[in-house]
Amino acid sequence: MKHTREITLVILVFMFIVPSLVLFGSSPNATDFDMTKTYTESYDHHDQIWIQSNAEFAAQAAAESWAGDGSSASPYIITGYLFDCETQPVRIWHTTVYWILTDNEIFGVGDNIQCGTWIENVTNGAIVGNEVHNRHAGLAIAEVSNFRVADNYIHDCWGRGVELFGEMNDTIIEDNVINDIGAAGIYSVSSKDCIVRDNIISNCNNIGIALLGLSPGSTVTRNTISHCESSGIMMSQPDNGFITDNVISHVVDQGIYLSGPENCEISNNTISAVDGIGIKVTTIEFSDISENVVSDCTEDGFRLTSGTNTTIHWNSVTNVSEYAINLEDSSTCFSVKYNTFTDNGVTCQVCDDGTSNTVSHNFYDDWSSPDADADGFVDSPYTFEGDAATQDEFPLAVAGVVPTTTTTTTTTTTTTGNTDSQMPMELILIAGAVGAIVVVAGLLMVKRR
């Protein structure tokens, strides 16, 4: 009897929880989307769908035999249609029921083509796995929360790919393929606690991803952005945000441009072939810029125009035409350490016009010797350009190798992380052993119960 109850519980989990995760949670990678499917041969032509309340949704779902009842476990499903009208084919307003628009084609025929969708004042919706093309904006979405846009193929639109306006809360935009767009790939004027991840964006006539206005608590991660006529990523006021693991190439102005970030992490981004600056930041405070790889820019690798109390550690800057790091006159109390600067075009790789900045323990390929005492540091400091009249007292002799000096011995450590927070191996092993004991003990208690 006990085993029967356990099997029943597993079945219920798969029946009710898994469908909701598929529709409103994680999704396949965008590269799995079938961009060769012949939609026009497989879908039924449908007139506009305009819904303005929960009651209208229920009535139309019943009239058209849509699956689902509007609950989180069984959302209404709008699927299998081809829309080609001039005005918005799908307009859903003022609803709180759960619904998903999935596996449809939305394109435009005529002289006055409007947006592919107009979604406004909606909670609990999802647009997943559609092809949208030849529209003004691909998807227009306003004032939504708990909303998801995923696995769509959006292309050949002369406005924006995904246009978000009004206040966006807890919205996920992921795994979309967006290309050949007349303006920005993804554009928002106000987003809070939103996630933009795993999108592939190319050939936009403006910014790849733009979260403007206010974007607190938002995460922009693992996106691939290329061949845009403006910045790869631009964000305004991304307080407590994460801009990580993005790959950006062949863009104009900046790879990443952040205005007013506070308590943010900007890390592990790979930026190349920028007709401008790799990463530009204005008015940044209490943030971390680490482990980014910047190369082949026509201006600075990093340009910090203003801000305070921010770390710039373990980054690599290669083959930029101007400074690897440029600290302008309103930069204060920045820590610039453990970075690697190679093959950059100016005679001095760092400019410091700021106040009380610490630039130390970096590798400069034009200042890597002599190290006569073999202590891992070049024997003379590296002097910077700029009004601060500062220098790196401890330039590294080998890239990525940071000597650790004590009163009695000198050891050399090769690492790819922040040495200021390393934990001794003995403590790591002890912690792991204790964790294993706790897990085993917990399993035994569960078994005894």
| pLDDT tens figures, 427-445 | 333 344 444 443 334 433 4
CB burial of 157-179 (b: ≥16 within 10 Å; e: otherwise) equals bebbbbbbbebbbbbbbbbbbbb
Least confident of 89-98, 223-232, 311-320, 405-414: 405-414
Report the pLDDT value the prediction gives residue 204, as an integer from 0 to 100.
98
Domain boundaries, the chain: 13-230
Mean pLDDT, rounded, for 117-136: 97
The larger pLDDT score, comparing residue 168 to residue 2, is at 168
Does the structure show a pLDDT above 80 at 128?
yes
Q: What is the pLDDT of residues 140-174, one digit of tens each?
A: 999 999 999 999 999 999 999 999 998 889 999 99
The larger pLDDT score, comparing residue 15 to residue 192, is at 192
Does the structure show a pLDDT above 70 at 378?
yes
pLDDT band, very low/low/confident/very high, at 106 (cuts 50, 70, 90): very high
Report the pLDDT value the prediction gives residue 42, as an integer from 0 to 100.
72
Q: What is the pLDDT of residues 259-282, one digit of tens each?
A: 999 999 999 999 999 999 999 999
Percent of the chain with pLDDT over 90: 76
Report the pLDDT value the prediction gives residue 5, as an integer from 0 to 100.
38
For the domain spanning 13-230, the CATH number is: 2.160.20
Beta strands 105-106 and 358-360, pairing class: unpaired
Nearest to 211 by CA among 252, 150, 164: 164
Beta-carbon contacts of 269 under 8 Å, excluding residues fewer than 6 positions away, are 243, 244, 245, 246, 247, 248, 255, 256, 279, 292, 293
